[in-house]
Structure 1
Amino acid sequence: MTMNRRQFLTRAALAASATTLLRPLLSTAKATLPPTPPTEFVLLRRATGYFIGRGGTIGWYSGKNALAAIDTQFVETARIFLEQMPGRSGRTLDVVCNTHHHSDHTGGNPVMKPASKLLVAQRRVPMLQLRNAERFHTTPLQVFADTLFDTQWSLDLGDEHLTARHYCPAHTAGDAVFHFEKANIVHMGDLVFNRLYPVIDPNGGYSVRGWVQALDSAIRDYPADAIYLFGHGNARFGVAGSRSDLSLMRDYLTALLSFVEKGIAAGQSREELAEALPNLPGFDDFHVPPGRGNRFPDNVRTTYDELTRLKGV
């Protein structure tokens, strides 16, 4: 069901009022959270780098006259990020951005938004974020972007220029790619899981075909010598890389589509295809043992759903 702006505002207002009522419960819940993981700031170039903790990679810029962050992880690590951000010294951030709506990229919004002049996301993100929160009963915890765009956005940060593009439904219906142009660092969000089987969210407006198109477009649009940041990465390969890593992600998704298309043409069922292979041949760095930690069967299922829906099966 499509949610219009009026419905979104009504439901978001109810969420805000519920936060006040649930605050004592939320405070108690903090005690049950897992220990805060190790965190690290990595400077790449021109006062720009990335932060790792729990959740999606945070990209950051810390200039003399401006501060910016891409994604917010969760509350605990967002606090650490703000307290330890290189060069911040208590200054207000000029902008915080969400690459998409998933909670490991927006969960720190309650901490980051009050510390920033703007919270930016693609236009579909707040509605997807609210819908996701309603599914998981976390609506009172949500803080939403206040500055939205459709396909392109930009902000002058003095010694840096930050731009964003949304291509099409891919990992979700609201993915955005952010580019620190002078540093030439591109944050891909979860459009790239570096040598990991990706999360394909059946409730987030995904399109595997669109994902391939989005990566092709990013490869075309951004410089060959850019440093790329990824939402998640295999521990052996990390969350920063090159254009070749985008190409590998695209090639995996293309091979996934081909594998599922051939299975459908051969008359295989959804579950027969999902159980046919433990891993996809040709992508050894993605391979993990069978079991709960292996997302390949779910990748097959969601791709099957997309392709059969398009065929009207």
Structure 2
Amino acid sequence: MPSRRTFLRQCGLALAASSVLSSVPSWLSSADGFESLRGGIGTFTQRGGTIGWLATDDGLAVVDTQSPNSAPDCWNGLSDRSQGPLSLVINTHHHGDHVGGNGVFAQYTDRFVAHANVPDLMRASADEGAANDQTYPTETFEETWSESLGDETISLHYRGPAHTGGDAIVVFENANIVHVGDLVFNRAYPFIDVDGGADSRGWIESLETIHDTLDDDTILIHGHGNPEFGVTGGREDLLVMRDFLSALNEYVTQQRQAGASLDEMKQTETLKGFEAFDFDWALSLADCIEAVHQEQTAG
């Protein structure tokens, strides 16, 4: 199973490469990486986890920051969309492809909001000697957080360990848009960060809970996505992610009961019904199997 650093490097390279393919995915169809959704909210895709943004006359809010290389391009595009100040940055979790550009945005705001577990998780996952070089959240929350900007109300929610031990769900309440960060890898094999507090069964429960709080008009922003399916969608995408994680857990459980070794388990190429997850991507089914096996055999 790849380390966090290996995954983030592979993910960044994969996303960077996708922008020069002869057939550019629909979710990268905007030449500058920006796509508008509704209510002054949109996405920015370039290298790393999907950035969400809110542009109002009163100011800007940004969800996740990608990398030091792509964050300046995001900021330049956002500054054209609102003359107001950068009011705050929200980090959905601690991974470098979601917080790596924090330092760029710190030139324009001193407000960075994340779940209470994120600062320690950032420190624990930093390269040796680099912990002091990161830009950390300045405000944290335990269960919920809310603030208004312009005509929009932004609320943050924590449902427990899932993709990591500090995943924030970002709700733009009036626009009915939800940024779920890496709780959804849309039709792509996910990174289950066991060392970072992940809990795949808790992840399943979180996806079900989120689904039940939304409606068919809700737009979801996903942390990553298969180019064929994109990084935005509806609440049904939550159940696809849930069903994959459920099938993954069932597969590992059954294989363990049958006496299969981890190496034998990892030989399977796809899970039935989830063939779309198998595309040219930084992670494999074998990585997911190893993570869940580690969860099930811990202790």
**TM range, smaller chain:** 0.7 to 0.9
Give CA deviations for 1:227-254 in whole Å, capped at 9, x if unaligned.
0000000111110000111110110001
Give, as a single letter, the amino acid of the residue that structure 2 aligns with 1:221.
Answer: T
Name which of 90, 94, 99 aligns with 1:106: 99
Are 1:51 and 2:44 counterparts?
A: yes
Shift of residue 113 of structure 1? Answer: 2.3
Alpha carbons of structure 1 residues 62 and 76: separation in structure 2 relative to 1, 3 Å: same
Give CA deviations for 1:35-63 in whole Å, capped at 9, x if unaligned.
99674111111111111111000000001
Shift of residue 141 of structure 1? Answer: 3.1
Q: Mean alpha-carbon deviation: is it higher for 215-224 or for 45-54?
A: 215-224
Higher relative contact order (CA 8 A, sep 6+): 2
Give CA deviations for 1:193-225 in whole Å, capped at 9, x if unaligned.
000000112321111111101101111123331
Aligned to 1:280: 271
Structure 2 residue matching 1:84: 3-state secondary structure:
helix
Name which of 275, 289, 297 aligns with 1:300: 289
Are 1:129 and 2:118 counterparts?
A: no
Are 1:74 and 2:63 counterparts?
A: no
Structure 1: where are the runs of 5+ without partners? 1-33
Aligned to 1:88: 82
Give CA deviations for 1:93-151 in whole Å, capped at 9, x if unaligned.
1111000000000000001123125210000001101110045x532431100000011
Q: Distance in 2 between matches of 1:112 and 1:222?
A: 31
Contact 2:90–2:113 at 8 Å: present in 1 too? yes
Are 1:162 and 2:162 counterparts?
A: no
Structure 2 residue matching 1:87: 3-state secondary structure:
coil
Aligned to 1:187: 179
Structure 2: where are the runs of 5+ without partners? 1-15, 20-30
Structure 2 residue matching 1:76: 3-state secondary structure:
coil
Aligned to 2:109: 116
Contact 1:55–1:104 at 8 Å: present in 2 too? yes
Q: Distance in 2 between matches of 1:301 and 1:49?
A: 35
Structure 2 residue matching 1:203: 3-state secondary structure:
helix
Aligned to 1:221: 213
Q: Distance in 2 between matches of 1:159 and 1:302?
A: 42
Of all paired residues, the percent bearing the same amino acid is 40
Structure 1 residue matching 2:104: 3-state secondary structure:
helix
Q: Mean alpha-carbon deviation: is it higher for 36-45 or for 159-168?
A: 36-45
How many positions carry a matched residue from both structures? 272
Structure 1 residue matching 2:48: 3-state secondary structure:
coil
Answer 1 or 2: which has greater helix percent. Answer: 1
Q: Distance in 2 between matches of 1:293 and 1:60?
A: 25
Name which of 198, 207, 210 aligns with 1:206: 198
Q: Distance in 1 between matches of 2:164 and 2:291?
A: 12
Give CA deviations for 1:57-87 in whole Å, capped at 9, x if unaligned.
0000001113111000011211111111142
Q: Distance in 1 between matches of 2:210 and 2:17?
A: 36
Give, as a single letter, the amino acid of the residue that structure 2 aligns with 1:304.
Answer: H
Q: Distance in 2 between matches of 1:222 and 1:144?
A: 30
Are 1:61 and 2:72 counterparts?
A: no
